[in-house]
A and B are shown apart, each in its own frame.
Chain A
Amino acid sequence: ETGVTQSPTHLIKTRGQQVTLRCSSQSGHNTVSWYQQALGQGPQFIFQYYREEENGRGNFPPRFSGLQFPNYSSELNVNALELDDSALYLCASSPWEGEAFFGQGTRLTVV
């Protein structure tokens, strides 16, 4: 039990649609990061938020965007979905220094 919960657990969307994934972090964890894990690969960093500000971004296009809220919840938004966006999306929270705790992930399928 990591204290990080994600919703929904599974989602099917059509190409071109928009999707919002949600994460509830551990209380007191100021940092939240989002990762994309494609089949057979390790998680790839999308972006990180620290105290509601974006604190860094991986090699993902602008149609991937996020928000972090004061109540330790956060969102990942993806616009104009593509088939290659099908993956497991992981949210991870951490104090400013320390290991990241992951949620169980949201499995997104784009058809």
Chain B
Amino acid sequence: DQQVKQNSPSLSVQEGRISILNCDYTNSMFDYFLWYKKYPAEGPTFLISISSIKDKNEDGRFTVFLNKSAKHLSLHIVPSQPGDSAVYFCAASVRDYKLSFGAGTTVTVRA
């Protein structure tokens, strides 16, 4: 049962523009949400997180928005840079326990 879903397998965006990645979840017990970035032949790298008590968290070019009523979160990257080309995973957990991951979205930033 896939509790975290990323319905867009890929996203192509022009350098300098905004990248918006979306994620939906079904388990209302999730209280901590994370985004990871993964390059080929490397493990996932932590990008940004948000607790369920917040609706927005910002870190430099990265902002995560959480809409609990819709069970939806999104990651905004502004401006997009060529080095942002990677696979992005949305993950969620209950009280810092196991992470449930989405299937990932491959982002390609075009020059």
A44 at the interface (CB under 8 A from B): yes
Question: Binding site of A, secondary structure by majority: helix, strand, loop or mixed?
Answer: loop
Q: Is the CB of A99 within 8 A of B46?
A: yes
Q: Could you tell me if B43 and A45 are in contact, using CB atoms closer than 8 angstroms?
A: no
Interface residues as binary, A1-14 with B (CB distance below 8 Å gives 1, 0 otherwise): 01010100000000
Q: Is the CB of B103 within 8 A of A42?
A: yes
Whether B46 and A101, one on each chain, are in contact in the complex, defined by CB atoms closer than 8 angstroms, is: yes
Which range holds the interface residue count of chain B?
20 to 34
Docked pose: A94 CA to B36 CA in angstroms: 15
How many residue-residue contacts, CB under 8 A, span A and B?
A: 56
A101 and B44 CA atoms in complex are apart in Å by: 8
Within B33-52, which residues are at the interface with A (CB < 8 Å)?
A: 34, 36, 41-46, 49
Most buried by B among A2, A100, A103: A100
Q: Chain A's nearest CB lies how many Å from the CB of B92? A: 11
The interface size of chain A toward B, counting residues with CB under 8 Å, comes to: 27
Contacting chain A: which of B14-22, B54-62, B65-73, B94-102? B94-102
Among B45, B98, B103, point to the contact of A2 (Cβ < 8 A): B45
What B residues does A42 contact at CB under 8 A?
Answer: 4, 6, 89, 91, 101-104
Q: Is A98 within 8 A of B98, CB to CB?
A: no
Residues in B neighbouring A102, C-beta threshold 8 A: 36, 43-45
Kindly provide the distance from the CB of A30 to the nearest chain B CB, expressed in whole angstroms: 12
Within 8 Å CB of A43, what residues of B?
A: 44, 89, 99, 101
Are B98 and A99 in touch, CB under 8 angstroms?
no
A90 in contact with B44 (CB, 8 Å): yes
Give, as a whole number of angstroms, the nearest-CB distance from B52 to chain A. 14
Which A residues are CB-close (under 8 A) to B44? Answer: 43, 90, 102
Q: Measuring CB to CB, which residues of chain A are less than 8 angstroms from any residue of chain B?
A: 2, 4, 6, 33, 35, 40-45, 48, 56, 58, 90, 92, 94, 96-105
| Sample of 12 A–B contacts (CB below 8 Å) | A6-B43, A35-B99, A35-B101, A40-B103, A42-B6, A42-B89, A42-B101, A42-B104, A44-B101, A45-B100, A92-B99, A104-B41
